[in-house]
């Protein structure tokens, strides 16, 4: 089946009620016919559900879809995107290990590596995602993983997945990719050798700003490690959120087509707008990595970034002057969202750290929604014109 059909037709087995749409299994635990069956299920001699912290029919359906869409053998769903990122680290890293990561990553992931993992004596080195020589220089005997985002949040920097895959293979390290911005519809990192693909399903997978969720996709062996870690530590995806996310996948392809169409039109308009220094969008020919984007992405995605000439104060004023766009911490919503990373999502980074990942004081990130492009454009332009 094609992507769209898999996203719609992969479902859990029908119950005795022969329902057309998968029901919500709102239960913490599951029952058995007798003691022997219970023993066999607990001993993994017979397939069956035990406890929703471990597995639930709704999370199973969501995981099955995500694995199929990311073209991996398996998937494990978690309570949030950051719990998925954390699990993808801690299932494989131990005290004394070393991880290489691109500098241009989500603020919480940056702090996870630079603050929290250091408490467990897990080393890290941040590298320039476009400088392969810096990757090679960063490798140590104890290096176990390369972690990256492409496109990055929020500066929309790209990493050549093919080169990254070759690098990881040559150094025998785990290749871990955050594919949140692209989604499996636009990009499949496993084509380029990725071992793990993580998602904040809260974003485009849900697509309407309703629930939290995360996913770690990869080979069965690697995902089994993630599953074991999460079963012991408990970042479980709730049945309700899994049910929502599985249904949301049914419309992912058409949503990403429209997000990308609107985002490209907006980027083209903003390129010719006064009071803007530059505009970044992967499928805009002026993007420094345009050819790479066309090579490894089906579409440009739904995020547009641009820099206002007035810096920090202009960024804040721009948000205050908006009339339709939402001011919120989320992205990937059906509603267009504006954010000012320097004063919000990346505010805890130092000025030098923000500059290193391309976050300037006047940077604005727009998560372009599904409204009519004229209304999105008009709200942004009227706000810029008041600066």
- Among 229, 249, 269, give the residue marking a domain's end: 249
Looking at the structure, tell me whether residues 209 and 118 fall in a common domain.
Answer: yes
210 and 294 share a domain?
A: no
Tell me: do 76 and 190 sit in the same domain: yes
- Whether residue 292 is found in the same domain as residue 202: no
Question: Residue 353 above 80 pLDDT?
Answer: no
Q: Quick one: pLDDT at residue 311?
A: 87
CB 271 within 8 A of CB 286: yes
Q: Are residues 22 and 51 in the same domain?
A: yes
Domain identity same for 168 and 314: no
For residue 73, give the CATH number of its domain. Answer: 3.40.640.10
Residue with tokens 């320097």: 342
Indicate whether 138 pLDDT > 90.
yes
44 and 186, same domain (yes or no)? yes
Q: Could you tell me the CATH number of the domain that includes residue 290?
A: 3.90.1150.10
**pLDDT, tens digit, for every residue of 288-333?**
999 999 999 999 999 999 999 988 889 999 999 999 999 998 999 9
Residue 376 has pLDDT above 80, yes or no: yes
Q: Are residues 227 and 116 in the same domain?
A: yes
Decide which of 249, 277, 310 is a domain's last residue: 249
Nearest alpha carbon to residue 358 among 338, 381, 341: 341
Average pLDDT value for the chain: 94
Which of 249, 272, 298 is a domain's end point? 249
Q: What is the pLDDT of residues 21-65, one digit of tens each?
A: 899 999 999 999 999 999 998 888 988 888 889 999 999 999 999
Q: Which residue range is the domain that position 216 belongs to? A: 3-249
Q: Are 243 and 258 members of one domain?
A: no
Q: Number of folded domains in the chain?
A: 2
**Least reliable range by pLDDT among 4-18, 152-166, 366-380:** 4-18
- In angstroms, how far is the first alpha carbon of the chain from the final one? 51
355-360 LR contacts (CB < 8 Å, sep 24+): 356/103, 356/126, 357/103, 357/104, 357/105, 357/110, 357/152, 357/155, 357/157, 358/104, 358/152, 358/155, 358/157, 359/154, 359/155, 360/307, 360/311
The string of pLDDT tens digits covering residues 80-137 is 999 999 999 999 999 999 999 999 898 889 999 999 999 999 999 999 999 989 999 9
279 and 331 belong to one structural domain: yes
pLDDT at residue 44 in the model: 84
Q: Are 237 and 266 in a shared domain?
A: no
76 with 145, same domain: the answer is yes
């Amino acid at each position: 089946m094609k992507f769209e059909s898999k996203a719609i037709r992969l479902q859990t087995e029908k119950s005795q009620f022969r329902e057309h749409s998968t029901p919500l299994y709102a239960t913490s635990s599951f029952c058995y016919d007798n003691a022997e069956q219970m023993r066999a299920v607990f001993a993994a001699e017979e397939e069956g559900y035990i406890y929703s912290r471990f597995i639930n029919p709704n999370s199973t359906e969501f995981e099955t879809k995500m694995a199929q869409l990311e073209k991996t053998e398996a998937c494990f769903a978690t309570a949030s995107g950051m719990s998925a990122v954390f699990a993808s680290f801690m299932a494989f890293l131990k005290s004394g290990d070393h991880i290489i990561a691109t500098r241009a990553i989500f603020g919480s992931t940056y702090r996870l590596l630079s603050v929290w993992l250091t408490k467990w004596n897990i080393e890290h080195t941040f590298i320039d995602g476009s400088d392969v020589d810096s990757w090679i220089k960063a490798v140590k005997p104890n290096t176990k993983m390369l972690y990256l985002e492409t496109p990055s949040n929020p500066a929309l920097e790209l990493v050549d997945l093919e080169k990254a895959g070759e690098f990881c293979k040559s150094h025998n390290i785990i290749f871990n990719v955050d594919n949140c911005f692209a989604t499996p519809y636009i990009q499949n990192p496993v084509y380029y050798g990725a071992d793990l693909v993580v998602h904040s399903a809260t974003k485009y997978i849900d697509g309407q700003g309703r629930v939290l969720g995360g996913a770690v996709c990869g080979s069965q062996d690697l995902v089994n490690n993630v599953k074991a870690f999460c079963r012991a530590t408990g970042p479980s995806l709730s049945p309700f959120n899994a049910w929502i996310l599985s249904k949301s996948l049914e419309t992912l392809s058409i949503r990403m087509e429209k997000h990308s169409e609107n985002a490209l039109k907006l980027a083209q308009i903003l390129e010719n707008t006064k009071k803007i220094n530059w505009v970044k969008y992967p499928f805009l020919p002026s993007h420094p990595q345009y050819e790479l984007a066309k090579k490894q992405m089906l579409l440009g995605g739904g995020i547009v970034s641009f820099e206002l000439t007035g810096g920090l104060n202009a960024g804040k004023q721009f948000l205050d002057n908006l009339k339709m766009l939402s001011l919120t911490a989320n992205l990937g919503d059906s509603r267009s969202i504006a954010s000012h990373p320097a004063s919000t999502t990346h505010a805890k980074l130092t000025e030098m750290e923000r500059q290193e990942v391309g976050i300037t004081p006047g940077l604005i990130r727009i998560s372009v929604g599904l409204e009519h492009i004229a209304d999105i454009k008009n709200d942004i332009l009227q706000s810029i014109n008041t600066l």
